[in-house]
Structure 1
Amino acid sequence: MHKLNLKVVFYVILGILKVLKASEISLRQVRMRLDLIEPALAIWSGSNYPLTWCGFQCLQNSNCVSLLYNYTNKSCKLFQVIYSVEEGEDDIVKYFILDRGNSRSVPESCKDVATCSGTTTDGEYWIYPQATNRKRVKIYCNNMASNPNEYITLKNPNSFIDHDQSNWPIMWQQCQSSYIPPLKRVDFQKVGIQIQNMEVNGMDYSFALLTGTPTISYGRIRDCNGESFRSPCPHFASATINTKGTGLVIDPSLTWGVIDGSYPEMRYFQKSTDDSEISFTCSGWCSTCGPKPGPVVFQVSNEFISAADAQALICHN
């Protein structure tokens, strides 16, 4: 009996110490659309814990940065990702981010990924840029062994077709219905970005299929077929933008239209209601159409992306 009482006292003391340590945990509750959280990706789950114990479990797990807590059944799920903060609130299930000070953090760039993990493997990673208010973005990290840089992997066609002087069937004659092939074209499979501001590096062709020798920047097209008021005057330059599957859209506040040229015209402009699909054509006497004033900047959309094909890493400082 005496030994049993000592054992009970030991566990009581241990429990008190753990509670004291847990009381130092700083949990930041954020408003969250819970349908955007993927419980199946929890790195640990348990039940019958008060919130402080759930936070303590997160503190003890070296990869945990956020948690989901259900006040009704006292269930706890830990995650190694910070989910995008969205408007919405639930009275039963709460989402929290664990504030660890400078001891652990999530990467803000591919350089952070390489530095904090030591990985030299190119691939898809979750990044939490300051430019997106730390909302996570799936980024392809390239050249990780030496000078890491960021790309967005495009799941759908993003093509830009240019018609210039090299395509004229007859020199200086406008509005030909035929042309000398090939039309210059860029099909972007990945597009480079500046992670600090999510601005697109439009002339980065590292992951693009090229036809001819184009000088087309992502989002822009150019046509030298002829003055738009002439009839008939085909629009040979065309743009197709599709960011579905990336969780990003081009800044919806951008204005699209004619940028420069002689008697130019942008025609057949279409934009989907979710801003993920944009298409248009351009004509003119060497005229450029696209976003103005530019540049092209990505923003996080409300699209839900599975985390299954991207690695989530924690930086240990």
Structure 2
Amino acid sequence: MKWNATLLFFFSLWIGYLSMKLGVYHFKLLKTRLDLIENELAIRSDFGLTLIQCATSCTEDLRCVSLSYNRTTKSCRHFDVIYDSDEYGNNDYWIVTNGSTRWVPRSCSEVASCSGNTTDGEYWIYPTATNGRRTKIYCHNLDSVPVHYVTLKNTNRFIGHSPTNWVVQQQECRSDFKAPLTSVDFVKIQINIEDMKINGTDYTFTSHSGSPLQYGHTTDCNGGASKNPCPRFGNATIDTGGTGLIFDPTSVFGITLGYSAAIKDFSRSSDGTRIFFRCAGWCGNCGPTSGPLQLKHTNEFISAASGMAVICSLR
């Protein structure tokens, strides 16, 4: 307790010192696990006699928005990304908090306006909708009207069966089907950065056959849900593993339209990254029934090296 009080006292003096010396920069102390900070990705590493010295050098580097300081070794590291805090953290970690002179981008539009970069690619964004948590976003059309996407590590596939696939008209539950089935593979999904909800009808980064299905949706017209045995050809595979994001766990999937319809074989992985289901009906449309799918952060650690950092500054 005595050490904590002493630390807070010196921290207050330090903040006052920086305010007088620099006028515009303030730092916020967070706790995080040491293994969550990638020290090898520091944009600057050196010896700092004091925390004040380390912080001052951060303010002099336009790329620096966070720092770690080891009081034992006097080692100082600066970073151009903000690592998430952790409730079980035992390591001091500091971030720049004054948003009027230096800040991290909240959207792809800010990436373009801050850096002048017009090259599409993976960037670190800190959306308001995620309470500023670092999120890897693919910025598309940076040279005009930027659009936000999440790149999927694994292809998300949606397959639909319709009356055009009937072997015999109006005959249910045939063990075969007339090809081809409608299918669409998503490798990126468009999101609204203001609320992290997806646009399931954006097919910019897809390959498909037939009229493309909306993301998260599928159809089946092979037979009524109560029929058994009855092959179910319509199915959906959602997989956000490796993105640090999952769809809101409270999302509900069910029948969006149809006669004698139901979802079959529904499963959701324990970490929420993978959702699979089949659709049954005569005919049936299946998908999210609780509203547009919305992305949420997970505790999955995504390396800062997999995206490009941009710092916004008035200097």
TM-score (norm 2): 0.90
Instruction: Tell me: CA distance 1:73–1:20, structure 2 relative to 1, closer, same or farther (3 Å).
Output: farther
Whether the aligned pair in 2 keeps the contact of 1:19 and 1:53 (CA below 8 Å) is: no
SS in 1 for 2:202: coil
Specify every segment of 5 or more residues in structure 2 that has no aligned partner in the other structure, as ranges. 1-16
Show CA shifts across 1:64-108 (max 9, x none): 111111122222111111112332221xx3111112341111111
Match of 2:198? Answer: 200
Shift, 1:23, TM fit = 9.1
Match of 1:182? Answer: 180
* CA distance in 1 between partners of 2:142 and 2:26 (Å): 33
Given the alignment, which residue of 123, 126, 129 partners 1:125?
123
Show CA shifts across 1:113-152 (max 9, x none): 1111111111111111011111111111111111110111
CA RMSD of aligned residues (A): 1.8
Shift, 1:25, TM fit = 4.5
Identity of aligned residues (%): 47
Whether the aligned pair in 2 keeps the contact of 1:55 and 1:98 (CA below 8 Å) is: no
Shift, 1:48, TM fit = 3.7
Whether the aligned pair in 1 keeps the contact of 2:48 and 2:54 (CA below 8 Å) is: no
TM-score (norm 1): 0.89
Aligned pair 1:59/2:59, yes or no?
yes
Aligned pair 1:78/2:75, yes or no?
no
SS in 2 for 1:166: helix
Match of 1:220? Answer: 217
Instruction: Tell me: CA distance 1:18–1:65, structure 2 relative to 1, closer, same or farther (3 Å).
Output: closer
Aligned pair 1:305/2:297, yes or no?
no
SS in 2 for 1:54: helix
Show CA shifts across 1:247-275 (max 9, x none): 11111111223333211121111211111
Specify every segment of 5 or more residues in structure 1 that has no aligned partner in the other structure, as ranges. 1-16
* CA distance in 2 between partners of 1:298 and 1:24 (Å): 34
SS in 1 for 2:129: helix
Give the greater-gyration-radius structure (CA): 1
Whether the aligned pair in 2 keeps the contact of 1:142 and 1:150 (CA below 8 Å) is: yes
Given the alignment, which residue of 235, 238, 244 partners 1:238?
235
Show CA shifts across 1:213-232 (max 9, x none): 22x11111111112111233
SS in 2 for 1:175: coil
Match of 2:32? Answer: 32
* CA distance in 2 between partners of 1:110 and 1:313 (Å): 10
Whether the aligned pair in 2 keeps the contact of 1:23 and 1:52 (CA below 8 Å) is: no
Greater mean alpha carbon deviation, residues 173-182 or residues 279-288: 173-182
SS in 1 for 2:111: helix
* CA distance in 1 between partners of 2:30 and 2:47 (Å): 22
Match of 2:252? Answer: 255
SS in 1 for 2:96: strand
- Amino acid paired to 1:269: F
Show CA shifts across 1:41-74 (max 9, x none): 1111122421111111111111111111112222
Match of 2:283? Answer: 286
The aligned length equals 298
- Amino acid paired to 1:137: T
- Amino acid paired to 2:38: E
Whether the aligned pair in 2 keeps the contact of 1:85 and 1:135 (CA below 8 Å) is: no
